[in-house]
Structures are given as structure tokens and as C-alpha cells.
Amino acid sequence: MYPVFNPNQIALTPFLFFTGKGGVGKTSTACATAVSLADQGKKVLLVSTDPASNLQDVLDVELTNDPVAIPSVNNLFACNIDPEASAKTYREQVVGPYRGKLPDAVLATMEEQLSGACTVEIAAFDEFSHLLSDEDVLNQYDHVLFDTAPTGHTLRLLQLPTAWTGFLEESTHGASCLGPLSGLGEKKELYAKAVGSLSNPEKTTLILVSRPDVSSLVEANRASSELKDIGIENQILIINGLLQSHRSEDKVSTAFYERQRRALKETPDALKQVVTFSLPFVSYSLTGVDNLRHLFSSYTITVFEDDSLSTDPIQLPGLNKVIADFSSKNIRVIFTMGKGGVGKTSIASAIAVGLSEKGHRVHLTTTDPAAHLAYAFEGSVLGENLTISSINPEIEVEKYKQEVLSTAGEGLDEEGLAYLKEDLESPCTEEIALFRAFAEVVEKSENEIVVIDTAPTGHTLLLLDSTEAYHKEMSRSTGDVPESVKKLLPRLRNPEETGVVIVTLAEATPVLEAARLQEDLKRAQIDPKWWVINQSLYATDTADPILKGRAVSEKQWIKKVSEEFAPRCAIIPWLHEEKIGYNKLKEFIL
């Protein structure tokens, strides 16, 4: 279908940026590429800027901010930059001078503005800007590989002159998750040089990594488009984890294979124009140098001889236990949370159906722009206790942007307005806009259980909360927190009213990112009640040697979730068919 990606057979630029949503295999692909290039005799530096990086687990060596030689691979060096630590330094640079001069509530708002994902990304960009701009690095290494790439939003923001003027120090619209950047003025030249290197096709290649599933292909398309818009046009796409064949007698294997092929047929048209390669779905865990080498040099299936599936099996309940728990405790607001592609919509739909079957009046709402919810109930008659609505993210975000521009934008010059508009492109803007819409739905549904597919992060909740405190302190503020939001925030913190379900897959990146999400929520005084491990091969009876091998590798992550992270944990097997329609969703929870 697609040629297999092999670094030995492709001319690659000095800088290689790997990007894609969590769990698609960026780290393993970057590591395998780095090992392959080093084995060719190239001197290679591998850099991770992912806060949840498992780079040292993959390479089986302790890493720091400074490059260290990988003992088992000549010519390969790696470092694990900690952007969280860099972001902390950033925050103190900006907030420090105001301590003792501004009210505590104002300082709290400033600190929260500097606690979001965008700030971490800016801090990471600061770290690898030095690598992109340092001639010594170019002279020392043939290739520098970055595990994670900056978003188009971050790069566009850094190209705007106003980003360096301290504009945000005076901004009170409350949408920013970047916070004041005035302390970075002296780095303007360095960043400009780094952005220049990124857009030079002779220096940089952007490697988009995607699974053969609809959500990660959509994300790859978005990243491709965003980065092309700012001049990063030298791109390739790797479809990672493509099952090469299937056993017709194995229902799981056949369904897995066919679902991947259907997803690939739905690849966005723009993404089809990008040069595309594939990597196989393999039976073994892509950790350790030997396995990384095996990925490119041979596709022979590792013989499956591991009996650890039957040894000390992990017993976890199904989704029916989650539903029974919420029903017995009469929880009124239920959020499903987690990274894209983990199955939040299906889980939210099943929970709503299960509760309605237990006699509760339930309202299910989503912000899924792909209308997955409509698809999940396609052609079926809803139970008498269930109603559904859909919040359109584009409409809600546009409404919120216009509200901010008409208030906070008043009186700004052309540059200030351009900065404000770009600041409103941040992920926090969408989260705040959608949370406001959710709050309105919850307020109108006092006599129903409301199940919400997707939810804001703890950072966004704290941003809204600190903005409210900020408004009390500073009457000059121009952005208002609606009453519905003010009511919902304390409600979400009440464990007798609200339940949060974190959905994950039994893989390294989704689990580590879900753990970080949980810490984020706890910071906002919200304790998730359940974790649901979705689409688990461990929980199936597949006999396919490739899928069974992967089931073994899931076991350590299932154990980690159930023993270390989750207060209560349920598991759902990888299903032979999608559960579409009310009656099929009922089957899902029996």
C-alpha cells in the first residue's frame, strides 16, 4: 500500500522533527531512525522535549539535559530536555519582579497563565532554538532528531513583533495560556534564526507520524496544514503500526486489519499530497536497541512463546461497574477525559445509555466536530430517558473570540490587535469557549444527569477560576466569567455531584499523558473517580501471534494504571465491531 520507511534508503536533512498526537509512536519511530542513521556511520543527536517522554525507557539509559553517548550504539548521543523545569524558570522570570507589588490574586492569575501546555512548548522551543542556531552543533553532528515539534500556533506567535513588547502584561482578556513574553526580548534574534532553520527545506524535514485511524490522521492533517502555512513545507508522513496481513479464522485480527484499511480510505485529501511511508504493526515492544534495529532491518515475526498472559492474570471490571457506581451514588455531571483517539465518545455514549437504561433521565452532549456522536447513534431510536445535543466548536470559539476582541481589543493599535488575535488561537481559548457552552447545557439540565464527551484541563479550570478572582481584585478587567461558569466550577469540585472518567489505552504515551492530566485536575481540586482502559488486546482472546505479542506488552501498563494511578479502574477489550446504535451500545455494557 505504501513503501516502508527506511532511513537507509531516503536522503534526510540535518534536522528531523517528529510530530503527531500522543500514542502514535513518535518516540519509537524517532529512536529507531536515530539508531539506523548511527549504524550507517552518521553522528546523531536525539533530543526529546516531551514532558512525558519515555525516551530513556526506549534506549535503556539514564538521560539528562546534556547529551550522553548511548553505550550500545556507536555515534549516537541523546538528551532529554525537561520543558517543565524550563517553564518553571520562565514563570519566575516574569512573575518574580511583581511579588510584593501586586495583589496575590493578580499574581495567581499571572502564574496560571504561565502554566499551560503552550508555555511548556515555548520553553521547549527555547531549549531547541539553541540547537537549531548553534553552528557547533551542525559541525559536530550529521543529524539532530527532535522527538516532538512545535505547533504552528507557537511559531506564528513568535513571528509577531508584538510578542516581544510586553503586550500581555497589560492584557486582561484572560484567554492566554502563554502569559507575558516580555522577558524574552533578548532572545528575539535567536528565535528568528531558529524559525528560519525550520523553514529551510535543505536543513529541516517535518516527519508527521500517524496511526492508521481516523483521529490521528485528522490531527496529522491539521499539523501539516498549520506548519505549511508558516513555510515548513518539507514534510513526509509515516503511517505507523499498519497490520500487514490477518488470519481469516481470527475475528480480532480480521476486524483490526479491516478497520485500519477503512480509516486509510478516509485520509484527508490535503494529507494525501504528502509523501507517505508505512511502518508495520509488530508483535514486540519497541524498547531496547535490538528491537529498534529489528524494525527497519527485518519484518520477521518474533515467535510468540510468552505465557505471561495466563500467569498472574489481571482481573478488572467492565464498564458496567462504572455505570452502576455512578447510578448508585446519583452523580449528576459526568465528564469523559483523555487524549484524542482513546475512545472518549464511545465511552461517554455507553455510560449515557447505561444510566438511561437504569431509569435515569440523561442528557449526552459532545463537541466532536466529526459528528461521531451522531454516527454512534446512527439510525437508532433513543431510549425514552436519553436526549442528545452537539456543541459546535467553531461557532462557540468564534463567538468567544468576537466577545474578547470587542472588549479587550478596544483601543489597541494594529500590532496589538494582531497579537491578540494570534493569542486567541491558543488551545486554552477553545477550552474556555467550549467550557462556557458546557456550563450553559448543565445549567439548563438541572433535572437530568449530564454526560459530557471531552472536558477542559485542570489548567483551564484554574485559569477561569483565577480570572474570576482577578476580576474581583481589578475592576479594569474587560473579560467576564458568565454566571453559569461560576456555578459550575464549584460543582465540579464536589465529588458527590460530579464524576470524571479518564480514558486511556494500555500504552506508554497515553498512560503517561493521562497521569499528567490527572495531576492537572487535582491541582484544580478535582479528583477523577474512574480510569477506563479502552481497546485492550490483553482483554481479548486473539490467537494472532502479532496481536498476542502486543497484548503481552500491554500488561505492564494495565498494572501501572490499576496499581499506581487509578482510584478505580475498568477495562474494555478491543471489540470485533464498532458499537453503533442504542441497542448495540446496550450490548457494550452488559
Point out the residues that are catalytic.
Answer: 23, 25-28, 50, 509
Q: Which three cell numbers stand for residue 209?
A: 507520524
Task: List the alpha helices (DSSP H) in 22-77.
Answer: 26-39, 55-59
Q: Which amino acid would we find at residue 342?
A: V
Cβ atoms < 10 Å from Cβ of 578: 14
Q: Which of 41, 33, 32 is nearest to 16 (CA)?
A: 33
Which pairs from 100-109 meet CB under 8 Å and 24+ separation? 103/473, 103/474, 105/466, 105/469, 105/470, 105/472, 105/473, 106/470, 106/473, 106/474, 108/466, 108/469, 108/470, 109/174, 109/463, 109/466, 109/467, 109/469, 109/470
What radius of gyration do the chain's Cα atoms show?
24
Could you give the angle at which helices 458-473 and 427-444 cross, rounded to 10 degrees? 80
CA 264 – CA 218 distance, rounded (Å): 11
Q: What angle do CA 481, 487, 491 make, to 5 degrees?
A: 130
Q: Which three cell numbers stand for residue 382?
A: 433513543
How far is Cα of residue 130 from the mean position of the Cα atoms in its chain?
A: 26
Q: How far apart, in Å, are the Cα atoms of 218 and each of 156, 223, 342?
A: 21, 9, 14
Q: Which three cell numbers stand for residue 339?
A: 487524549
